[in-house]
Structure 1
Amino acid sequence: MANEIVSVEPDSSLKTWGWISYILHLVVAVGAVLPGAQASVALLLIALVIDLVKRDDAAGSWQASHFSWRIRSVLWAGVAYVLTAWLWLLFLLPGWLAWALISLWFLYRIVKGMVRMNAGRSMEPSNVL
């Protein structure tokens, strides 16, 4: 009994990493939406690295779509923030509105992914954006 080996199924481990990543993304997303609750970009980068590293481990499983979903969410939001940054320089209100909409979109994607992962469902190809 003392030498008993406990194995963890890959699905279980991937789901744990997925939850860690989703929670980090959620903290960042909520911080982006609530004034004064700015979360560190470091949390977002940690979550992104987790997703990039673990994505190959999830290949072929229903969870692979969640890793890709989170990676695409970060990349699309990052591109949108960069493309709308000029609005802050020229016009304060449009810049704020653009970034608020991007932040809400990012929060929506993270919550949607969490709900689907909790239900054991993949992110379908029709859910790309």
Structure 2
Amino acid sequence: MNDDIVEVRAVDKATLDGLNAWGWVSYLLHLIVAIAAVVPGAQVSVAVLLIALVIDLVKRPDASGTWHASHFAWRIRSVLWAGVLYVLTAPLWLLFFVPGWIAWCVISLWFLYRIVRGMVAMNQQEALPR
């Protein structure tokens, strides 16, 4: 069985337009958080990230069977992995400032890359890899 095959369902234009709009709202909110994470001194509330995550979790079932589904999953996985990595590397801040700072910079850059990569694919109306 090939895991890359995704069942595609027929969806009306209004639904696709709605998924597209919600996807861009979510990507823009994620982008604000991602840029703030790599710009020294920039402060963005974690609420912005949580709003984007809630949008993704709520709208994900609507995207099932469309190329948009991969984008909702991509954003959710990006947030969850970044959160896990931040938590795992948090003790470095307490023990050694520089390694903690380096680890969080790398995680933040990775998160920014994931958001920009997703936005490029969305603009081209392409699904993202699992």
Same fold (TM over 0.5): yes
Residue 116 of structure 1 corresponds to which residue in structure 2?
A: 121
In structure 2, the gaps of 5 or more residues are 1-11
Counterpart AA for 1:110: I
- Equivalents in 2 of 1:52, 1:108: separation in Å? 21
Q: Does 1:84 align with 2:89?
A: yes
Structure 1 runs (4+) deviating above 6 angstroms are none
Pairs within 5 Å for 1:34-113: 34-113=39-118
Aligned CA-pair RMSD = 1.1
| Residue 16 (structure 1) aligned with residue 16 (structure 2) | no
TM-score when normalising by structure 1: 0.90
Structure with higher Rg: it is 1
- Displacement, 1:124? 1.9
CA drift of 1:11 comes to 0.4
TM-score, length-normalised on structure 2? 0.89
| Structure 1: gaps spanning 5 or more residues | 1-6
2:114 and 2:85 map into 1 onto residues whose CA distance is 14
2:36 aligned with 1:26: no
| CA distance, structure 2, for counterparts of residue 116 and residue 106 of structure 1 | 16
Counterpart residue identity of residue 64, structure 1: A
